Amino acid sequence: MGSRDLGMGNRVVAHNIPFTLPGIAVPIIALVILIRSLLTRNAYEIILSLAAITLWVVLLLTGKWAARRLAALEPQWEIPLPLGAVSSEEWRVTCQTANIPLFFRLHFFVGGRFFPHGSLAGCPVSAETSMSRKGIHARLILNFPLGGLFRGETFCRLKDIFGFFSFPCGNNRERSFSIRPAPCGEAALRINAQSGAEDRRNKNANDEERYYMREYAPGDRFRDINWKSSERIETLITRISPDNQEKITRIEVHFRNYGPLSATIEELWLLDRAKARLIWFLRRARADNSRHVFIVHSAAMSWDLGNDDEIDEFFEEFAVLPFCPAQNEVCSFLQAEGGIANSAIYIFSTACDIALPDFLLKQQGRPLSLFIAQSAPRRKSKRDEVVPLERESLFLRDFFSGGLLPLPGWLLPRRRKLQNIHSDHMMIDYAETRL
């Protein structure tokens, strides 16, 4: 605890120091020149050194006075949420300022760490923009190459145009938000949903208890089951609205985010592409039929998505879903009851999922569609005839241009992740990382 407090204290002290490296070097050099010029009686050097020292002192006093006056400054950050990767959307800063001193400008900063898909290792993030003396708006572009979680802060400083001083001013604000994966390519999609509704017109007066309910269907929520009625007639019964005659189709989705906890950037890129494909699938299926209900299972939790608001909230949680270590999978309650043994299942995974073949083996007899992201095969020489494969590339140089500093381990070459799996309905997204 003591070491943590010490680290935070050092960071605060460093943040409050107004001197830059040129601001420290200039007075030292000017004093050396002044002393030497007095000894040699060089009037020209005396005038230059005194002018430099005078300018330095004036800027120091002016900056301190202005920073104290701007201590309660509240810049308004307008962040384009939801924020997506490779979006290049502008962050807008609005700040009502008055009487910024001559030779000074307000600079706005974003600093923190970016954790790709909730990984344990985060890379530094830094971006800066400035505002003119009479302006009230500033724009900043911070580009994330892939989805994940950003944690940091926004703050502003008063800097002189010579680069001597950087005075902290205004109030710092902590920021934490998720970045959704960039969209993936379009493809053909076939939906085989499990019906989960019945028509009220088939009811009669003798089935009054079922008139306001229906038999349990795959994907129904446990909390909607009427256990008393189910026990009395020995059949699972689900509560429904008596006025609801719409057909609801339920789609079972498994997102297998199994992989290493300390993932490489290539493995994280595969997870990014698998997430992008699932997001595309949900949006496409929802556009085809607005009454689709999605039951999404991941390694650690599940979601019941029945409307657009629930899907949008899911996208925010989903963006920071990390890899989970492979584990023994137990059949769910519904599978144990045999209720969805013949329903379709949609599986999204990556080449990092070493338990995927066993999971597919357990699903024999069920119609399934497999969406998998894996490394693109190595490019062969020009002499070889190769069928070109569509592949999505993550360029590490985009980290630098976007204000992010990739970790050194991400730059090392890695073994490509491939899965030798074949399925009747299978879609492969090939991905690669390049410098």
The pLDDT value recorded for residue 409 is 81
Q: What is the pLDDT of residues 271-324, one digit of tens each?
A: 999 999 999 999 999 988 888 899 999 998 999 998 999 999 999 999 999 999
Q: What is the pLDDT of residues 335-350, one digit of tens each?
A: 433 334 567 899 999 9
365: pLDDT strictly greater than 90:
no
Cβ atoms of residues 209 and 305 within 8 Å = no
Distance, CA of 334 to CA of 341 (rounded, Å) = 9
DSSP letter string, 147-211 = -EEEEEEEEEEEEETTSSBEEEEEEEEEEEEEEEPPP---------PEE----GGG--GGGHHHH
Q: What is the pLDDT of residues 11-51, one digit of tens each?
A: 444 567 899 999 999 999 999 999 999 999 899 999 999 99
- Tracing tokens 């009054």 back to the chain, one arrives at 208
Helix (H) or strand (E) holding 357: helix 356-362
In this predicted structure, which of 117-126, 218-227, 231-240, 381-390 has the lowest mean pLDDT?
381-390
Q: What is the pLDDT of residues 179-208, one digit of tens each?
A: 999 999 888 887 776 544 433 334 444 444
In this predicted structure, which of 167-176, 189-198, 271-280, 401-410 has the lowest mean pLDDT?
189-198
The pLDDT value recorded for residue 15 is 62
Distance, CA of 425 to CA of 252 (rounded, Å) = 16
The pLDDT value recorded for residue 236 is 79
